[in-house]
Amino acid sequence: MSQSEMDGVQYRRAKLWQIIMVAASGFVGMGFYCLIGMASYSASIGFGIATVAVGGILTFTRIFDAVTDPMLAFVYDKVNTRFGKVRILLVCGWIVMVLATLMMFNWAAGKGHGIVTFVLLYVIYIIGYTLYNMTGQTLYALMTNDPKQRPMVGVWSTIFNYVVPIALNMIFYVVLMPKYGGFNQEFLASVCWVTVAVSAVGLILTCIGISEYDRPENFAGTSAKREKLKLQDMVEVLKNNRPLQCYIASGASDKIAQQVASQTIITTMMGGIIIGDMSISTTLTTVSIIPSILFAFIGAKYAGKHGNKKTIVTWTYMCIYVTVATILFFAILHMGGNTRNISTVMPLMVVYVILTLALNGTKMCVTTGNNAFMADVIDYELDRGGKYIPAVVSGVYSLIDKLVSSVSALIATSAVALIGYRQTMPQPTDELTGGIFWMTLVLMFGLPLLGWVITLIAMRLCSLEKEEMVEVQKRIAEKKAAAKQAA
């Protein structure tokens, strides 16, 4: 474990190879994310569940997923073995996910089982995913508290989060689907086994990368007395940790706006009806990967120099500016009579591509700051409360974040119902009306603007400037030294 002296603080630092290996946790998280996206097909093909019922099941399980997040803190607090804490939790979470998905997509599918079996398997999967994912969120705070290095850790995670889904989708839809002739039981079983294999590689790399930091002394609190975690501790954290409150307000408002904008019915109205070419959004998603990664490095460098809070604020303003410019671009074309010229007139296409890439890039810089800011909030709680329970902070945040974002589909469907889509869904061939145009802009750009305004207000109320984080680290070091002496 290397260290660096800066700002009068002895920071712990991770080696580059350790950062990359821990970031390979994305093999697991994104791998199962891609797989579970096919759960509705497994429910229908493998368990004979009606499409309408599938939607209700997935909504229920997302709420269940949110409730399980803070419960992990109790497990996290109790697990202390000679083989470490986080590695044990990661392996256990992975095993549960593997067994649940193999049953869901392979072993139990097509055997005449119905809705009860599917729901039970999905719930078991969620428990495993929660165990793995929530533990994974604490790894970066454990590895390094160097303000220059923390943002760079998130960059490598972002790279894997981009590359893994693209690679897996290529395997799934270019290699396996033609082989098995579409969505059928053989295809789903094969996809599941590929996911298990890829995720196993990610798990092994992650465990190797974190091994040096997975030691009891690194989980010691700032007081000599060891106290058991209680439910009221979690309530107290939410009630009295102001930076966490600000982070929740910022993150949840941005998340719900992002999820509403990414709903298929909204992207269909934008790409198919307003622009008139559904393939454009898919092409832009692929093209924007490299610029987005470059922006992630820019955001990390900025965060290392100016702090994570200022990074969030600065790049949120940039998101607002680019979004306003995008709204004006569409509004002017709409008043001119034909937004579909974007797909046929090259200068308009160039402007649209530039605006889209700029918006994706500035969002990436905000995300980079947000990822590192979570570790700052965890350290603030350690300084404030004397307990090193990072899963409490991430669990409380995730609970509220998921509960809020779980209504994104409801917002999208309710909004399009207001403009006439009560019995049918928007189709690319539908006529462009004023209602469709303005509702699409409100949902795709207006909600994110509202989320960013909430972010700016929340960050104004947050005290974790770069200078304050230096003082936080100094106090933590002093308290830990005093606790060690007292013990």
Mean pLDDT over residues 40-48, rounded?
Answer: 86
pLDDT band for 239, please (50, 70, 90 cuts). Answer: confident
Question: What is the C-alpha to C-alpha distance for residues 388 and 231, in angstroms, rounded to an integer?
Answer: 16
Smallest Cα–Cα separation from 151: which of 5, 42, 311? 311
Tens digits of residue pLDDT in 285-326: 777 788 888 898 999 999 989 999 999 999 999 999 999 999
Between 478 and 483, where is the model more confident? Answer: 478
pLDDT for 96 equals: 97
- Rounded to the nearest 5°, which phi and psi values hold at 4? -140, 140
User: Under a CB-based contact definition with an 8 Å cutoff, are residues 267 and 260 in contact?
Assistant: no
Enter the tokens of residue 277: 């070419």
pLDDT for 277 equals: 81
Neighbours of 305 (CB within 10 A): 13
At residue 327, does pLDDT exceed 80? yes
Between 430 and 202, where is the model more confident? Answer: 202
At residue 88, does pLDDT exceed 70? yes
Q: What percent of the chain has pLDDT over 70?
A: 93
Tens digits of residue pLDDT in 448-473: 999 999 999 999 999 899 999 989 88
pLDDT band for 244, please (50, 70, 90 cuts). Answer: very high
Mean pLDDT over residues 79-104, rounded?
Answer: 93
Mean pLDDT over residues 136-149, rounded?
Answer: 86
* Residues sharing a CB contact under 8 Å with residue 255, sequence separation 6 or more, in sequence order: 401, 404, 405
Which of 15-29, 53-67, 252-266 has the least mean pLDDT? 53-67
pLDDT for 52 equals: 57
Between 141 and 440, where is the model more confident? Answer: 440
Question: What is the C-alpha to C-alpha distance for residues 207 and 233, in angstroms, rounded to an integer?
Answer: 29
pLDDT for 391 equals: 73
pLDDT band for 478, please (50, 70, 90 cuts). Answer: confident
Alpha carbon distance, N-terminus to C-terminus of the chain = 23
At residue 370, does pLDDT exceed 90? no
Longest dimension (CA), the chain: 75
Tens digits of residue pLDDT in 166-183: 889 889 888 998 899 888
Tens digits of residue pLDDT in 437-452: 999 999 999 999 999 9
pLDDT for 444 equals: 92
pLDDT band for 388, please (50, 70, 90 cuts). Answer: low
Between 277 and 323, where is the model more confident? Answer: 323
* Residues sharing a CB contact under 8 Å with residue 257, sequence separation 6 or more, in sequence order: 447, 448, 450, 451
Task: Report the chain's mean pLDDT, rounded to a whole number.
Answer: 86
pLDDT for 189 equals: 96
pLDDT for 282 equals: 65
pLDDT band for 476, please (50, 70, 90 cuts). Answer: confident
pLDDT for 227 equals: 64
Smallest Cα–Cα separation from 334: which of 460, 241, 439, 454? 439
User: Under a CB-based contact definition with an 8 Å cutoff, are residues 203 and 132 in contact?
Assistant: no
Torsion 304-307-312-315 (CA) sign: negative
Is the pTM higher than 0.85? The answer reads no
